[in-house]
Structure 1
Amino acid sequence: MSTAGRASTGAALLAGLALLGGCGDSGTGSRETVAPSITVQAGGDPITADPTQYCLGGEGQRYQTSPPILEVAPDTTVVLQVPDAVADSGWEVQVFDEDLQERIGEVDVEAGTTVLDEISTSDVVPATFYLVVVQDSDADACEGLSGAWPVGFIRTAAGPIESTTEAPPAG
């Protein structure tokens, strides 16, 4: 993919964030010291992702944050690690299209699990997609609002793209 193509794809990914993350910070609470981050690794160094929303002290919080967007090779294992508090309450991974408009799948995670390493970058059909870690919500707290940590992925070609001038076989 060309640099211009990646830039426009990245812009589309970022445009979708407003839909998932809300319109801004609620203005209450100190996010830096209380809202947990998750860790994601896909072929490179582990990185952290901050939540776009989180239930804190019984009040729903929305944050203005830009999720990480990773360029990844096909067939790369994605490792997601959540803090104990998220694992204890339960969580799943929701798979969204590049615009965060359409949920195209989900991965259930066994209760108490802190590390999930069962997703490959080739498991998702579109080459550009989001994985969103979603904490199970408590219906009595935060009016059902749960924690959400989006991470964008742009799957690149595994190697040089080969072109051919041969006609496809007749058949």
Structure 2
Amino acid sequence: MMDARTRDEVIAATQHWLTRAVIGLNLCPFAKSVHVKGQIRYAVSDARNVEDVVVELADELRLLHESDPENIDTTLFITPHAFPDFTDYNDALFFADRLLNDLGLAGDLQIASFHPHYQFDGTEPDDIDNYTNRAPFPIFHLIREASIDRAVAAFPDAADIYERNIETLRRLGLDGFKAWMDKQ
């Protein structure tokens, strides 16, 4: 079991990434609102393998689905002890998506993926493009479909976000991004 201080450190590192990269660089224009309103649940897993992650993930999906969106609009399910290898994490996403279907929650919730070594197909490991989905720990981001629908209605150019994010990171470059993230 993870001690409280370590859990707090994992959450603090995740919040730093969220506020500096995701919100600070406007990689996700929808994140600021739920962050400011305190509607993000940070769930830190003790799991060390895919089977245990899936069990805990099922609980988190149910909790999010049953919660009032005014209290919990989205969940960052952080797995600091599982999936140090991106390929293993990427394989686990298959089970996560299957779980979403098995629970009957596909269409209500979806899962976005973040990992310290995230790598898009066709890129090199250090390509700056990969940093749009790099986080301090493997994270399964549980998102309400209704929230996405509202956000897309408010940001009609939502389909362009990915391209804009890559442009932003390419302008910064790897050294600029690392310097940005080092700031408190």
State if a TM-score over 0.5 links the two structures: no
Greater strand share, 1 or 2? 1
Rg (Cα) greater in structure: 1
Structure with higher RCO (Cα < 8 A, 6+ apart): 1
